[in-house]
Structure 1
Amino acid sequence: MHLTDRVSLGDVRITGDGYLVTDARIARTGIQIYAGREVGRPDLDRVRVYRPEAEVFARDALASLAHRPVTLDHPDEAVTAKNWRRHSVGITGDEVARDGTFVRVPMVLMDAAAISAVQDGKRELSCGYTCDLKFDAGKTPEGEAYDAVQTNIRANHLAIVSAGRAGSDCRIGDDADEEQGMTLQKVTVDGITVEMSDTAAQVVSKVQKQLADATAALAKANTDHAAAIAAKDGDLAKKDAEIDALKGKVLDAAALDAAVRARGDLVAKAKAIAPGVVTDGKSDAEIRHAVVAAKIGDAAIKDKPAAYIDARFDILAEGVKPADPVRDALRSGPAPAAQTTDAAYTSMVTGLQDAWKGQQKGAA
């Protein structure tokens, strides 16, 4: 695949022979943005291409930048021995060196028209090269995402172009872009579409992603917080309901006294109506049911509603008075002494009863 990069021409000097000599950065590592059509993917608007350090600074890649023809604008064909004389206006040197994340190479222009063009402001450089492009998405060691990777980078020529990115950053583009000027990327920022350089577009895209991630994280935190508050509110409401329910079950002193009296009256009536009825451990309704059943039989009240049982109990209670042990004891007097059949006790009582008879005989 034939591709091109752009960089700014470095400081220049003119030799005694009139040649222009300079030393420039012409390639770099990292991610560069391509239009999809530039890399054979017209279905994509843009492609993030990663140039690994190992590929950019590979020995063969660096060696390919030495002794390359320099052209004025990109030719319509690759520069070879057959067309070199027609296209070349200079040549690169052999002292190719790494300069941070860039590749620096010396060059000399020997064509007067090309030198004049540079002096008039045509100072951008664009490296034409071939490479293998593999669409294999991933992330750089710095965590930046990419869509494809460049390998086997080999330089063909270095062109002087009229427009390009300011500074020494590299730029990839096709010939039409180089002839017409710098290609700008369209980026939407806060609803407004603006055009900017690839580097600026990458920075904006990265910041937009970070902002979107932060916004999503904040929204999730707010949602989780709201859910936690709602859960706590639910727990508090449940506790309040339980407290209110317990309060409703607690009797005050007067109500407790009334409940005790009512229970006592019920038990007394039940015992008066049916003395043998068991009341311990039974509810009020169970006591009424047992009393009515004892008086009129279970069959008579089978499947009868509670209201019927209560009414029958009240009717039975009207004809009796509740037992009053204290009142009954006062009316009947003290209980008779218990009788005994003990012979000694009987003999003693008889002797005391007949003692007066002996006294009468002595007196006579």
Structure 2
Amino acid sequence: MIFTDSVTVSGVRRTADGYLVGEARVARTGIQDYLGTEIDPENEHGLRDKPIVRVYRPESAVFHQDAMQSYAYRPMTNGHPGGDGVNSKNWKDVAIGQTGGEVVRDGQFVKVPLVLMDAKAIEDWEAGKRELSMGYGAEVVFQDGVSPEGEPFDCYLGPMKMNHMSLEHRARGGDQLRFGDNTPTPPQGGHQMADTLRTVIVDGLSVQTTDQGAQAIDKLTKQLADAGVNIKTLTDAHAAALALKDADLAKKDAEIDSLKAKQLSDADIDARVTARADLISKAKSIADADYTGKTDADIRKAVVIAKLGDAAVAGKADAYIDARFEILVEDAAKNPANDPFRQHMIQQDGKTVGDESEKARLQMIADMQTAHLPAQA
């Protein structure tokens, strides 16, 4: 994994060939701030979404013998090339200069000589792009702690191995890596050297910060916006769930009200029983049959069929059949002979009269048969 660090050029001069030559502090011990996506891009250690990860560089990482040797003769680039850094395949395309071989410790810093050779890169440097960012590899030990200076950190580095040095606008190390005292005289029409900061808008306010600070602010702003969207999504989902629940409750209330409306009172039941008995009575006055279990409509239809035949109801609507039934009822009311009660009474009366007549006839016969017999003494 290639990391990047930034340092400030110091003691710069121009050669007769137009190159820029000088010395630069290229690394230091202590705490440096990185983005979580730089240190833990796969989030294997839970640091990817952390805006700022504090990485400690102990002396054993910065001044290790192998590390000190790796600062020498590193290619310089105008911006980090990305990927795996600089190698023999892309060196010719990206190199704009290189570091020298005299690597020394300068307090808590490592200082190396360097030469900037590419004309376009020199123009960028003169226009203000004048700080250096090291591209290096190192083992990251994901263990938090506190540095000897009392500063907390999230992880620390093992021995560093340099790959390249990139010309950049801003240093990761901050103010202590400010541009050195010796500055070349810019060519006629050139730009005076001055520290520049990036301006970002935070909640309507203009804030000047480094590129790294701007990245952190942008990330935090996006996270806040995403959090707002997530909260709105959850709120909308909660409101929708409540609305659905209210709709279900309203539906159940309507069903309960409907069931209540369908419940019959005692008076309703009595009225229905009376109407049913009346219908069956009318039906029997026309066609005496068993109407148990039939609906009112079925009873009317059965009576019409019994009296008039199947053809009378074939293809007819219920309203027509009901009307034919009522006509038959009216006709039956006009003809007392169709009254089953009256017919029963007549049958009973006829049977009584017949029995009395038969008795009188038999008695007359008996009297006639005994009329010639002598009287008994």
- What TM-score do the two structures reach when normalised by structure 1? 0.50
- Report the AA paired with residue 286 of structure 1: D
Residue in structure 2 matching 1:220, options 233, 244, 250: 233
Residue in structure 1 matching 2:66, options 27, 50, 60: 60
Counterparts in 2 of 1:155 and 1:297: CA distance versus 1, 3 Å: closer
Cα distance, 1:257 vs. partner?
A: 1.3
Residue in structure 2 matching 1:240, options 242, 245, 253: 253
Cα distance, 1:181 vs. partner?
A: 3.0
Distance across 2 between alignment mates of 1:330 and 1:62: 138
The superposition leaves residues 35-62 of structure 1 with CA deviations (integer Å, 9 ceiling, x where unpaired) of: xxxxxxxxxxxxx9x99989x7575334
Distance across 2 between alignment mates of 1:170 and 1:288: 109
- Report the AA paired with residue 298 of structure 2: E
CA contact (8 A) 1:186 1:193 kept: yes
Cα RMSD after superposing both structures: 5.3
Once the two structures are superposed, the pairs formed by residues 153-168 of structure 1 within 5 Å of their partners are: 153=162, 167-168=175-176
Q: Show the counterpart of 1:200.
A: 213
Once the two structures are superposed, the pairs formed by residues 185-196 of structure 1 within 5 Å of their partners are: 185-190=198-203, 194-196=207-209
Instruction: Give the match's secondary structure for 1:224.
Output: helix
1:312 aligns with 2:333: no
CA contact (8 A) 2:286 2:303 kept: yes
Instruction: Give the match's secondary structure for 2:332.
Output: coil
Counterparts in 2 of 1:266 and 1:203: CA distance versus 1, 3 Å: same
Gaps of 5+ in 1: 10-21, 33-47, 69-75, 82-90, 97-103, 109-125, 134-139, 143-150, 158-162, 337-363
Counterparts in 2 of 1:92 and 1:288: CA distance versus 1, 3 Å: same
Instruction: Give the aligned length.
Output: 244
Cα distance, 1:244 vs. partner?
A: 2.2
Q: Show the counterpart of 1:18.
A: none
CA contact (8 A) 2:197 2:209 kept: yes
1:294 aligns with 2:306: yes
Cα distance, 1:30 vs. partner?
A: 5.2
Cα distance, 1:191 vs. partner?
A: 5.0
- Report the AA paired with residue 203 of structure 2: D
Distance across 2 between alignment mates of 1:129 and 1:188: 26
Instruction: Give the match's secondary structure for 1:256.
Output: helix
Counterparts in 2 of 1:231 and 1:268: CA distance versus 1, 3 Å: same
Gaps of 5+ in 2: 11-24, 36-50, 75-95, 113-129, 144-159, 353-376
Cα distance, 1:169 vs. partner?
A: 7.2
CA contact (8 A) 2:71 2:162 kept: no
CA contact (8 A) 1:92 1:105 kept: no
1:250 aligns with 2:256: no
Q: Show the counterpart of 1:93.
A: 104
Q: Show the counterpart of 1:275.
A: 288
Distance across 1 between alignment mates of 2:342 and 2:68: 124
Residue in structure 2 matching 1:231, options 244, 263, 267: 244
1:31 aligns with 2:43: no
Distance across 2 between alignment mates of 1:329 and 1:221: 84
CA contact (8 A) 1:5 1:27 kept: no
Instruction: Give the match's secondary structure for 1:181.
Output: coil
Distance across 1 between alignment mates of 2:222 and 2:175: 26
Q: Show the counterpart of 1:6.
A: 7
Return 246-255 or 295-304, whichever deviates more.
246-255
CA contact (8 A) 1:8 1:167 kept: no
Distance across 1 between alignment mates of 2:199 and 2:106: 38
Counterparts in 2 of 1:293 and 1:326: CA distance versus 1, 3 Å: closer
Cα distance, 1:305 vs. partner?
A: 1.4
1:105 aligns with 2:116: no
- Report the AA paired with residue 224 of structure 2: L
Instruction: Give the match's secondary structure for 1:275.
Output: coil
Instruction: Give the match's secondary structure for 1:320.
Output: helix
Cα distance, 1:196 vs. partner?
A: 2.1
Counterparts in 2 of 1:65 and 1:27: CA distance versus 1, 3 Å: farther
Cα distance, 1:170 vs. partner?
A: 9.3
Q: Show the counterpart of 2:126.
A: none
Distance across 2 between alignment mates of 1:184 and 1:228: 49
CA contact (8 A) 1:93 1:106 kept: yes
- Report the AA paired with residue 251 of structure 2: K
- Report the AA paired with residue 28 of structure 2: R
Distance across 2 between alignment mates of 1:164 and 1:281: 95
1:284 aligns with 2:296: yes
Q: Show the counterpart of 1:100.
A: none
Distance across 2 between alignment mates of 1:246 and 1:154: 83
CA contact (8 A) 2:300 2:321 kept: yes
